[in-house]
Amino acid sequence: MARHGLAPAQAIVTGFGLALLVGTTLLWLPISSTQRPATFVEALFTATSALCVTGLTVVDTAVFWTPFGKLVILLLIQVGGLGIMLFAALVGLVLARKLSVRARINTVVEAKAFGVPDVRRLARNIFLTSIAIEAVVAALLFVRFVSGYGYDAGKALWHGVFHSVSSFNNAGFALYTDNMMGFVADPWVSLPMCAAIILGGVGFPVLRELAREWRRPLHWSMNTRIVLPATIVLLVLGSLAITVIEWENPGTLGDKDPATRVLAGFYHAVQTRTAGFNSLDIGAMHDETWLIMDILMFIGGGPAGTAGGIKITTFAVLLFILWTELRGGTAVNIFGKRLSRSVHREAISVVLMALAAVMGATVAILTMTDLDLGRVLFEAVSAFATVGLSTGITATLPPAAQLILVALMFLGRIGPLTLGPALALRERRVAYELPKERPVIG
């Protein structure tokens, strides 16, 4: 019997596709740009980058887009950060006060909630959490812009709201030509943005559980007990690595005072969670720093949040699988619980598909340009992990290479395991199993 309607994975991909079409069309309009209409590739690239909360740009956001264009970008960031299905659920609740069963399932799948909870409560909690964090950070930035930089109230409010939304949703879009380089020594701007990035990056399930059980860590789920410590470890190691390697680099930290160097090192470690703001010239960093940032960006943040990458939980599962194999164990155990074998396959599939996408895109762009491997790989990882950090080559790439980055951003936001099933016409069920045999490994 034929199935009616789209499967959840197909609905998510279709929803993002339709939102991308609308965003591209709006940015393509003459009212969205200042001096000349945006080309189709410029509009598509910017809409994809905003909707997929990446932050890569092919034009100067500060001067190319009109207030209308910047508002479209801001709305795409907010919708992309919340998630298409969750946004649709919120609209449905507001307009119709009810949701179909399929809409409920789609929302739960995109939010990666376990079981089928009250979708009204789920959507409301995620929305209110997002708005509350964005409002607090916007207020802090507003005060700083007024008191420290002499902005008038209207400009300070707009800049505060825009950068707050862009931070919490890990988007990396800024209203300045040099991104956030003018605030490299200002902790009153840098730290609130870092806090928003970290909170958005750990994921809504972790935030929701911490709000309920923050005093009882033994009651935390496996997801929270993996994401929190791993986030702290990656931030500490990333901060140390970037700060130490770049300490004497005259193009980045070398001409800064020690306090600014430490602040900037931490700031850029946070950006790899995957926000994409920069207060230093990424293109002037050492190759070693790029490679470390590649690794951090590829890992990304927590699941069901605004961050990208393969996710901390996926990386942790692979580490536990490796540790079990090295010890000669038969089952992967994490925090006193046995890990389902289906999770093994999912983690391996995500990593292999991510590596294939990044490596394939890197090779393709290398054949189109004369750029070196370090810069192209950094750009490809940044696009797939929806980070938005760049060594400065994005705008100089040929249109075909920019379209490859568009595909990477879309794939990175939707997720390989969501996009794969969505492209399948139907599920194939096999009613038999073949005999087992082991090849030689290693």
Residue in the structure block whose two tokens are 């019997």 = 1
Q: Pick the residue with more confidence: 429 or 236? A: 236
The pair of three-digit structure tokens given for residue 24, joined into one six-digit string: 């591209």
pLDDT at 436 exceeding the cut of 90:
no
- The arithmetic mean of pLDDT across residues 362-386, rounded, is 96
pLDDT of residue 88: 53
Task: Indicate the pLDDT class of residue 1, thresholds 50, 70 and 90.
Answer: very low
Q: Tell me, what's the pLDDT at 377?
A: 97
HSE-up (13 A, CA, CB side) for residue 269: 23
Output the pLDDT for position 104. Answer: 56
Region 422-434 average pLDDT: 62
The rounded Cα 396 to chain-centroid distance in angstroms is: 23
Instruction: Indicate the domain borders of the chain.
Output: 8-418
Q: Please state, in angstroms and rounded to a whole number, the distance separating the CA atoms of residues 144 and 49.
A: 28
Residue 121 has pLDDT above 90, yes or no: no
Count other Cβ atoms within 10 Å, centred on residue 261.
23
CB 417 within 8 A of CB 339: no
Q: Do residues 66 and 34 make contact, with C-beta atoms less than 8 angstroms apart?
A: yes
pLDDT for 339-349, tens place per residue? 888 788 888 88
The closest alpha carbon to 53, from 176, 172, 196, 135, belongs to 172
Residue 378: per-residue pLDDT? 97
Q: How far apart are CA 279 and CA 265, in angstroms?
A: 10
Cβ-proximal residues to 281 (8 Å cutoff; 6+ apart), any chain: 181, 251, 252, 392
pLDDT over 70 (residue 115): no
In 3-state terms, what secondary structure has residue 250? coil
pLDDT for 216: 86
Contact 212, 284 (CB under 8 A): no
Tens digits of per-residue pLDDT, 240-295?
999 999 999 999 999 999 999 999 999 999 999 888 999 999 999 999 999 999 99
H helices of 272-398, in order, are 287-299, 312-327, 341-368, 373-384
Q: For the segment 180-190, what is each residue's pLDDT rounded down to a tens digit?
A: 999 999 999 99
Distance CA 210, CA 179 (A): 32
Least confident of 26-35, 126-135, 228-237, 421-430: 421-430
Q: Is 336 exposed, middle or buried (0-12, 13-18, 19+ CB in 10 A)?
A: exposed
pLDDT in tens, 47-81: 999 999 999 999 999 999 999 999 999 999 998 88
Residue 274: per-residue pLDDT: 83
**Bridge partners of 334?**
337
Q: Which residues contact 405 (CB under 8 A, 6 or more apart)?
A: 45, 56, 361, 379, 380, 383, 394, 397
Please report, for residues 198, 273, 287, 297, 330, the alpha-carbon distance to residue 234 in angstroms, rounded to integers and kept in the order given.
12, 9, 19, 11, 29
Phi, psi values for residue 435, rounded to 5°: -65, 150
Position 96 pLDDT exceeds 50: no
Q: Which of 95-104, 124-133, 137-146 shows the lowest mean pLDDT across its residues?
A: 95-104
| pLDDT > 90: percent of the chain | 61
Strand 333-334 and strand 337-338: the pairing is antiparallel
Which tokens sit at 300? 């990304």
Whether the CB-CB separation of 108 and 116 falls below 8 Å is answered with yes
Asked which of 332-341, 401-410, 433-442 is least confident by mean pLDDT, the reply is 433-442
Range in 87-101, 177-191, 199-213, 389-403 the model is least confident about: 87-101
**pLDDT: which is higher, 433 or 257:** 257
pLDDT of res. 106:
52
